[in-house]
Chains A and B, each alone.
Chain A
């Protein structure tokens, strides 16, 4: 029987990933710092663009400039969590599948889920997280929000929900790489990163035929806009503030089913396309 997966074991796995991230950073601190700094500048640039438009026109679609800043801070925090836990292509899983590299994971004495949840943990090289925390502090201060324990719990719950939606969506689209590894190797990146810009745009004031698809079919509205308005006590479209949680559950169930089917196909069909780069940092 396999070893029991305890919390201690998971923490040790996260710790070794964190240690490797740190030594990777310290290996060549100059270039690592340039990388982190570049990340921060790029993130601030994205935020600044939309915030300056909101400031110039006294808000966007009924959201004040500070509310837009809060939304951007939320989006940056999500992006920070993504890079903190997903550096090893474990979230952009289509790359591992498409390159035939799942076999590296199959020979480890751990359940696949545990490996994927822990092997991309990089807390030291994620500059976005710092930007997100700083922006959130500024936005909260400018909005003069009263921060209670429950509000912090709600923030964490929404961040987890958003991450769940992103990861589930990535795994859902990545499942295509089981069947078409070459064509779909980058599908996760396309679906998540390339669509990220939409998620940083305030959807308030947009017509319903744009808002509703962005909360269902292409759920970019759930990445920042909807949860940040919920945290500000203004859930849009008269929807329940629990809608993102329900959607996260729904998409996770679908993604889990589709991914499992794809995985079964993979172990039956095998991968004849092994690419020896990309999986290992």
Chain B
């Protein structure tokens, strides 16, 4: 990397800056009727999809940001645009003070990208072979490679996997090996698209713990997408909610719970063995209600999961369109 780019990076606290980005796709539409086939030949029907709609947000250096939203909201498109795989239709993007589209080679030295549904490991080689391949392609200095290899081997517990062929790894093992490979060049920013996809509880805990440690210890900026809100809440401090290609919420998880409402729940047990769940917002009102109830033997309090609130929210967005439902 040039001195200029390094200077640029040190001048700003922003790891990612997205400003007014729009990404429009065209989809071909077809039906299987005779008329449809004929129409397709003469004048194919197209549908315009706005995957990102004037999207704007900033992520500071050292932040751990969750990027969530319903299917088709634009999460993966954002990841691809940030990593230079896709060109936006319009708007400005800066990642580590570089343009992913114009300075892709330079940026990739400092960026790590991992999609949960694909692997960067060489399929028919032992894991360590893929690591050595990465060392050459990324031109990683010997000392950095050895240091990082030792760290990821220990923290991700992949010592036993290094000599195993990638095709023989379980999904959880493969994800750990992929994550380890991602970190060999000490990326300053990591983009993770569904990294916990398909992982069992143990593998998920291990992955989440490692990412939190990485962010805390090295100050690595992490942006992660997932459909699992509990995972995201455990990992990240800030959440960006996207829907219809636009940011609909930007804040911490406590604020999101506040915005969603109905986040507190009382579980009431009665002397006849029955139980009842009561979602509430006003505690005084709940206490009055409980005082009037007959046969209450136990009460426990909990929070409703974020997912429950978001399910309702996403459904509402789908019904009404996003414009009237933006939280921020």
Chain A positions near chain B (C-beta within 8 angstroms): 1-3, 9, 12-13, 15-16, 19-20, 23-24, 103-104, 106-111, 264, 267-270, 274, 276-277, 280-281
Contact = CB atoms under 8 A, between A and B. Distances in A.
Contact of A281 (B25, B119, B123): B123
Contacts of B4: 1
B307 interface: no
B25 A109 contact: no
Contacts of A277: 123
Contact of B106 (A109, A270, A274): A109
Contacts of B121: 280
A111 B121 CA distance: 20
Contacts of B129: 20, 23
B184 to A, nearest CB: 13
Contacts of B1: 1-3
Interface in B127-170: 129, 132-133, 136-139, 166
23 contacts: A1-B2, A1-B106, A3-B109, A12-B136, A16-B133, A19-B132, A20-B125, A23-B125, A107-B84, A107-B111, A107-B113, A107-B120, A109-B106, A109-B107, A109-B108, A109-B139, A111-B105, A269-B26, A270-B77, A270-B80, A270-B86, A276-B117, A280-B122
Contacts of A19: 132
A109 B123 contact: no
A281 B124 contact: yes
Interface centre among A1, A15, A274, A281 (most CB of B within 10 A): A1
A274 B118 contact: yes
A269 B25 contact: yes
Contact of B136 (A13, A24, A111): A13
A280 B123 contact: yes
B268 interface: no
A12 B140 CA distance: 12
Contacts of A274: 117-118
Interface string B79-112: 0100111110100000000000101111111010
Contact of A1 (B5, B25, B89): B5
A143 B54 CA distance: 71
B125 A109 contact: no
Contact of A108 (B2, B77, B108): B108
Contacts of A106: 83-85, 104
A274 B116 CA distance: 12
Contact of B122 (A12, A15, A20, A264): A20
Nearest to B118: A276
Interface in B170-219: none
A13 B5 CA distance: 25
A9 B123 CA distance: 24
Nearest to A279: B123
Nearest to A103: B85
A104 B117 CA distance: 13
A13 B122 CA distance: 15
B137 A109 contact: yes
Nearest to A115: B137
Contacts of B83: 106-107
Nearest to A106: B85
B126 to A, nearest CB: 8
Given A1-B106, A110-B105, A281-B125, A13 B85 contact: no
Given A108-B108, A270-B77, 20 more contacts: A2-B106, A3-B1, A9-B139, A16-B136, A16-B137, A20-B125, A104-B118, A106-B85, A107-B85, A110-B137, A111-B105, A269-B26, A276-B117, A276-B118, A276-B119, A280-B124, A280-B166, A281-B122, A281-B123, A281-B124
A104 B137 CA distance: 13
Contacts of B5: 1
A10 to B, nearest CB: 11
Nearest to A107: B113
Query: A-B pairs with the 6 shortest C-beta distances?
Result: A2-B105, A1-B2, A109-B108, A16-B136, A280-B123, A2-B106
A4 to B, nearest CB: 10
A215 B10 CA distance: 58
Contact of A109 (B2, B109, B166): B109
A190 B122 CA distance: 26
Interface centre among B83, B119, B129 (most CB of A within 10 A): B129
Contacts of A104: 118, 120
B9 to A, nearest CB: 13
Contacts of A1: 1-2, 4-5, 103, 106
A270 to B, nearest CB: 5
Contacts of B136: 12-13, 15-16
